[in-house]
Amino acid sequence: MEALIAFSLIVLLFVVLGSGIWIGLSLLAVALLGMELFTSRAAGDSMMITIWGSTSSWTLTALPLFLWMGEILFRSKLSSSMFTGLAPWLGRLPGRLLHTNVVGCTIFAAISGSSAATCATIGKMTLPELQKRGYPDNIAIGSLAGAGTLGLLIPPSIIMIVYGVAANVSISKLFLAGILPGLLLGTLFMGYLALWALTHKDKVPAEALASSLGDKIKSSRHLIPSVILIALVLGSIYSGIATATESAALGVAGALLLSRMEGSLNWGTFKEGLYAASRLYCMIGLILAGAAFLTLSMGFIGLPRHIAELIGGLGLSPFALMLLLMVFFIVLGCFLDGISMVVLTLAVLLPTVEAAGFDLIWFGIFIVLVVEMAQITPPVGFNLFVIQGLTKKSILWIARAALPFFVILFGAVMLIYLVPDIVLWLPGRV
């Protein structure tokens, strides 16, 4: 009976989500209905206590600060400076300026924390330049879709903060755990672009102008602001000088200062960035509150226990469980954004994951990689939406262009399963 009730509520949740109601309100409504109809607990009191507890965490204060930092940088000249600094160094590689998507996204991911912000900012910078120089749309757009997902994996990552709060694990260790997989993934993306260029030599435009070593070094000065901000944010965390929240505040101050020094900060852009970050955080906060209350409701009804019993009864090996969870998250990603997926499922899945022997730091990076795959999976792939806004191409066309990078992401998941030290080595040194 409990299983039937829980299943009915899940079906109702997807119906409500499909109706277009805000995700946070949908979660709250279904949770409230479940508590009222199927438990003896006072729903109103439970909802208030749960919402307060889920949104008043000190650790969570890093989230709006990193969002604000990303919005400040999104409105600055940092991205165009980054392209100017990178382009001369990449002209000799197979694939030439196609690599600006990957390297640019890797650098910007380390100072934004958001996949959508990374994809939009680097896309606005690179796509017009690549198109003007004659690079094919499918590989230029596909590489941007894939590389944009690095915004979730390269620290500081917003989704890692959400996971760390939900799973009660160290955010600093999660940030450390994401560095090597992020660099590995960027290297795999660049390797694929080089291979594509070598097998499609007729489609890669010739280098416009050879740069001397002196010119390259001179152009590198445009990368200095990015390097300073990365060092300020990540260096303060890993040196132990600041917590994740304090480093986020340093990042905001640094972004405001750099933006002011380069002349892109004025009262208008300041207000726009603050409003945009506030709107985005309110959306995320409502989702977190709704998911926390739904988790409580499902706990009283018995869903986590039933799912754990169901998966346990299957007798799956850790590898088979990982594959099952990967498919589950990718399918869920067809309907929900990454943060909603994490907060909605963690409380249910963590007991099973711990029983299977998975390290929670490793599992956090696994979830981030799978959510990255969902970011370029239609119909609700956030990176696909961002690129559609930039290019006016159809979602399915962009998804096809991004398919090779989806396969590379799958390969990265297999690698961290076979060699977990890729994830755990750096956190283990602290």
pLDDT at 353 over 90: no
Q: Which residue has the higher pLDDT, 364 or 63?
A: 364
Closest CA relative to residue 148, chosen from 112, 188, 109, 110: 109
In this predicted model, what pLDDT tens digit does every residue of 362-387 receive, in sequence order? 999 999 999 888 878 776 666 777 78
Q: Is the pLDDT of residue 409 over 90?
A: yes
What integer is the mean pLDDT of 48-58?
Answer: 75
The residue that leads in pLDDT, 73 or 380, is: 73
Express each pLDDT in 131-189 by its tens digit: 877 888 899 899 998 988 888 888 878 888 888 888 888 888 998 999 999 999 999 99
User: What confidence tens digit (pLDDT) does each residue in 227-283 have?
Assistant: 787 788 778 877 778 777 788 888 888 888 888 887 778 888 888 888 888 887 787
The Cα–Cα gap between 141 and 401 comes to 7
pLDDT band for 107, please (50, 70, 90 cuts).
confident
Q: Which of 18, 355, 340, 406 is nearest to 163 (CA)?
A: 340
The pLDDT > 90 percentage for the chain reads 14
Q: pLDDT category, 193, cuts 50, 70, 90?
A: very high
- pTM score of the predicted model: 0.74
Q: Got the DSSP string for 161-173?
A: HHHHHHHT--HHH
Buried b vs exposed e over 301-313: b needs ≥16 C-beta within 10 Å? bbbbbbbbeebee
| Arithmetic mean of pLDDT over the chain | 80
pLDDT (0 to 100) of residue 352: 81
DSSP code at position 265? -
pLDDT, mean of residues 317-325: 88
In terms of Cα–Cα distance, which of 139, 84, 130 is closest to 107?
84
- Comparing 300 with 428, which gets the higher pLDDT? 428
The residues, ordered by sequence, that sit 6+ positions from 82 with a Cβ below 8 Å of its Cβ are 104, 107, 108, 125, 222, 223, 226
Average pLDDT over residues 320-347: 78
- pLDDT for 207: 64
- The pLDDT of residue 304: 58
pLDDT of residue 213: 61
Return the structure tokens found at 255: 């972004």
CA distance 375 to 365: 15
Report which of residues 419 and 218 the model is more confident about.
419
Kindly tell me if the per-residue pLDDT of 209 is higher than 60.
Answer: no
**CA separation (Å) from 175 to 158, 169, 255?**
10, 11, 20
Gap between the Cα atoms of 93 and 27, Å rounded: 48
pLDDT, residue 208, reads 54
Over residues 36-40, mean pLDDT: 76
Work out the pLDDT band at 360, boundaries 50, 70, 90. very high
Nearest to 237 by CA among 167, 145, 304, 170: 170
Distances (CA, A) of 86 to 163, 183, 258, 363, 379: 33, 17, 19, 34, 33
Residue predicted with more confidence, 211 or 72:
72
Is a pLDDT exceeding 70 seen at residue 43? yes
Q: Give me the mean pLDDT over the 207-217 stretch.
A: 61
Can you tell me the mean pLDDT for 381-397? 78
